[in-house]
Each structure stands twice: as structure tokens, then as C-alpha cells.
Structure 1
């Protein structure tokens, strides 16, 4: 990279932390990582960190100009659709190059019993037809989509306690990945899980639950990712993002 580069990484993911760590060692780069602040005790990346929203796309556009940001890399969670949309529009407004870093989605393999749906609400509609003891691993936001399913006995696993209504019959597990196959199998056996509900987050940290479900022969309700903004370049890994930063585009 030639000249001083100020890079904003929209983070909160493992890939975002890895990217910030790499950039923090580059002499001519100033990296700032932005976290939404929805996790109570986040794992912080190297370099400067800001926590909290920007105030919508207008606030983000203003911040990019005020801080003289040269590049933006959106390495947020695949389901952080709002910030991704705001970043795309804000970067266009102020003519700052934007890259989206997204880990590859999970893909069903032999032996998987996947039911792919477009939303949490759709997942809730089909769930009663698939099992009675669901393991819900969709994060704390949106758990209320399942709150009306009184006949099901849920095991809800989140990092932080949900601040929305929960199903009447539930066990709440507060835990953070990565998870091992042995642990996931043990959890499913111990709680009698007969259906898994997950977002298609991708990555290795939480993929063991899919293998465990395959081995147990239980169905999996998989919520598909929201679409990405049109016209924004997308890469699957940290090395690709580093290459984009060094390719001379401004």
C-alpha cells in the first residue's frame, strides 16, 4: 500500500478481528474497528475500537468524511443486513471504496435433512411439523419469533440473555463458541433435541452442530442469508481483503 491509509473495519466477527490484527502491524495503515455494542463482553480486536451505531447511513457518511477514511471493509455478521445496507449507501455518497468480507455459507451435504427458509417467522411456522424439542441457535435477537409456540420445549442458546419474549417452555444456555462435535452431540442427547434451528452464518466456530444433527439424524431448519447490496465487491476471506487493500484502487 502506498501512502497513509485510514481503514474502517465494520466488525464483530472472527474474520474482522483477524483482519484488524493483520492491519495493526502494517506501518502505513491506521485501522479502526467498529462494533455494534450488542454483545456485553465482546472479544476486542487490535487497534482503535469504537462501539455503538453511527446514526444511520447519514451519520456513517459524515463519520467517514470527518475521519478522512480511505477504505471501508464490512466484515460484520452475514445477518447484519442493516449496517451492510447503510455502509453501501454511505460509502457511495462520499465516494469511499467499500468491500464486503463474508465467510462462505454452509452447504447441505449427504445425510443432511435441511429445511431452508427465508426468515425466522417462516422457521417458526414449519418448526411444529418437524419436532417437539428444538435447539434454537439463532442468536438473542429474533427469539421472540418463536415465543408463541407453547407446545414446544425449547433449548435456547445465546451469548447474552435475550431482551425479547422467550417461548413459555424453554431452557436458556448462555455460551459462546467455538463448539466441538463431542460437546454438541452431548448437548443434543442430554436435552433430547429432535430438531435444530440455525441461521446460515457459515464458518467453523459453530459448524459442529450441523455435523451433530447429521449424525443424530435430526432435521435442521436453516434461515438463509439476506441479500447483499448490488454492485459491492465481496470476498470470502481475510487474505482476499488484504489483497484488495493493496491493489491500488482508491
Structure 2
């Protein structure tokens, strides 16, 4: 049996770890290649795109893939639609592995935005010193805000276009609450901008912002394909695969 995991997330790596060593199973993890030094999961790894849904369907067929798991980032929307189309074309079972989104609690000052451009439009009336944690790929949406100062945190260095007044912090989660508190204090942050990525690795910034009384602009997740079953964590995904592929032994789940 052969499982293809569209990965690059913590959940994708964990799923590969759960499946690794299962007798009779080959696990291939596919990474987009947008991070220079990704954390590699166990098993087979391929890097780069497929050339659209047709290319992915061809790969599924050529590699005799028995199940496809879309464990990409919640904001990597295009590949999810490509996966749905390719799976339907090749009659391959498809599962989406999606960590739950964040939910505001008492004390949060969240402003929802439907896109990075909408988030940029909200900023001038909320503050002038911005902690931007939306990744390096979407900085063009903020490039015209020359009167604001940005602290940009990303795994790899951003490229143009980006805001003219910007300090870059190269770092990778998980982050601690004490560290996020100190970061907000040291840089005199007035507004936090983030995507609703969910999970625990970067959630401490939300608590730190809540404690400091700071507004948070939360960019909503894009729509996902309809009709695709969803697992909330790698363990659920492993159980789904066990049911569909009649697999009975998973390392670390005995």
C-alpha cells in the first residue's frame, strides 16, 4: 500500500511518524519547497509541485497511491483544490488533516479580516507598531503602509515587495508565552496581525496580546473543497487510513 501526504506542517510530520514502520506500507511526504531548510519527516520525501491537478493525478496513478492525505497549511488553499480534483480523477480516497482554528476568549480584542489586503486596510486606525506574523509570502499587501513600522517574523528572509519600515526576526516555532510577552514589550508592539493557523506552536502570541490589551487582526482561513472528510489531528488521520487500507499496526499507537 502507498500513502501520499501533502505536508510541510507539524501534523503532517507526526502522521508520517505514526505510519512509519507499518508493514506493507510506503509513506511519501510531499513538500512544496518554500522553506529553505524544512524539517523532514521519516519515510520517502519529494520536494516541489506537481504541475497542477492533472500532474498530481498522473503522479498518483504512476506511483500507485492508495490514499491521499492533504495535511498542508490551512492557508495553502490552492493545493487543497488540486488534491480534491486529482483524487476524484484517480478515484483515490482523500482525507484533509486540519488543525482546528483558534477561538477568541474573554479579553481578546480580535478584528476579523477576510484577506491580507483587508487586514492592511484595518491597520492605520488600530496602531503604528505592528507585529506581523503572517509569513514572508504575503508582505506585498502591506508594502504601501509607509507610515507604519513592522516587526516581521518568518522562517526565511522575506523578499520585495515589503513594507519600507521593517525589522525582520527569523525564527521558527514553537514559541513560549514568556518569550512572546518580552517580544511585545521590547518592540513596543501596538497591534498583532496573524492568520488563523490554529495549533499550539504559535498560539502564545495571542495570550500575550490579550494580557497586554492589544488588538489582534485575525485573517480568516480560505474556503476548502466541499465533501472532503476532515481529521482534526494525526491520530484521527491514522485511524481513517487504518479503516480505508485495512492497516492494523501503527508505531507509537499500540
Q: Is 1:177 paired with 2:180?
A: no
Equivalents in 1 of 2:114, 2:242: separation in Å? Answer: 36
Aligned to 2:2: 6
Q: Is 1:186 paired with 2:177?
A: no
How far the C-alpha of 1:163 sits from its partner, in A, is: 2.1
How far the C-alpha of 1:249 sits from its partner, in A, is: 6.3
How far the C-alpha of 1:164 sits from its partner, in A, is: 3.0
Aligned to 2:149: 153
Q: Is 1:81 paired with 2:70?
A: no
**93, 97, 116: which one aligns with 2:93:** 97
Post-superposition CA distance 1:64-100 (Å, at most 9, x none): 0000000000000000001111000010011000000
Post-superposition CA distance 1:84-132 (Å, at most 9, x none): 1100001001100000000000000000000011000000001111111
Post-superposition CA distance 1:28-56 (Å, at most 9, x none): 21000000000000000000000000001
Query: TM-score scaled to structure 1, two decimals?
Result: 0.97
- 3-state DSSP class of the match of 1:141? helix
Equivalents in 2 of 1:200, 1:18: separation in Å? Answer: 21
Aligned to 1:219: 215
Aligned to 2:234: 238
Query: Any stretches of 5+ residues in structure 2 without a counterpart?
Result: 247-254
Asked whether the equivalents of residues 197 and 222 of structure 1 are also in contact (C-alpha less than 8 Å), the reply is yes
Aligned to 2:110: 114
- 3-state DSSP class of the match of 1:186? helix
**14, 20, 23: which one aligns with 1:24:** 20
How far the C-alpha of 1:25 sits from its partner, in A, is: 1.9
Equivalents in 2 of 1:37, 1:16: separation in Å? Answer: 15
Counting matched residue pairs gives 246
Asked whether the equivalents of residues 9 and 72 of structure 1 are also in contact (C-alpha less than 8 Å), the reply is yes
Asked whether the equivalents of residues 198 and 223 of structure 1 are also in contact (C-alpha less than 8 Å), the reply is yes
- Divergent runs of 4+, >4 A: none
Aligned to 1:61: 57
Q: Is 1:123 paired with 2:119?
A: yes
Query: Any stretches of 5+ residues in structure 1 without a counterpart?
Result: none
Equivalents in 1 of 2:125, 2:245: separation in Å? Answer: 51
Asked whether the equivalents of residues 141 and 164 of structure 1 are also in contact (C-alpha less than 8 Å), the reply is no
- 3-state DSSP class of the match of 2:28? strand
- 3-state DSSP class of the match of 1:28? coil
Q: Is 1:248 paired with 2:244?
A: yes
Equivalents in 1 of 2:124, 2:168: separation in Å? Answer: 19
